[in-house]
Amino acid sequence: MANSSSKPIELEIVTPDRGVVHEEVEEISTPGKEGYLGILPGHAPLLSELQPGELTYKKSGQNHYLAINGGFAEVLPYRVIILTHAAELSNEVDRERAEKARERAEKRLARFNDSTVNFQRARAALARAVTRLHVSDRTP
């Protein structure tokens, strides 16, 4: 019988449109609402709200990167399910689109005297665009 540390974690990442990842992995790091969660095999069960950010998982010793847009994580000892509004693997990010989104958000934030600008939405849009660009830089 294998020891618990050698048993992989089944990782499933799902958006409303598609299944993005369904793999056996060694470890996961995901952006929880209060900070990043590091998940190894045998982790205690938990439910966590996720914030937009970079999700990383390791498979066969190699790191894989995704940009996720919030959601929820269900963590069981050997299975993690991520339900997110949107997820992009590093090689799926459209850099030109992400750059334009970053520029639009920065322009909205620069209009600090404009009462029609929703600054909370603009900051969130900027964070998503920056995360997507950062993840796309990690394409192997």
- CATH number, residue 67: 2.60.15.10
Range of the domain at 34: 4-90
Q: How many helices (H) and strands (E) does the chain have?
A: 2, 10
Residue 114 pLDDT greater than 80, yes or no: no
Report the pLDDT averaged over residues 105-129. Answer: 83
Backbone phi, psi, residue 137, to 5°: -70, -15
pLDDT of residue 28: 97
Residue 140 pLDDT greater than 70, yes or no: no
Residues 50 and 72 in one domain: yes
Q: How many domains, in total, are found in the chain?
A: 2
CB 95 within 8 A of CB 101: no
CB 134 within 8 A of CB 54: yes
Q: Distance between alpha carbon 132 and the CA centroid of its chain, in Å?
A: 9
Show which of 75, 90, 105 is a domain's final residue: 90
pTM: 0.84
pLDDT of residue 139: 66
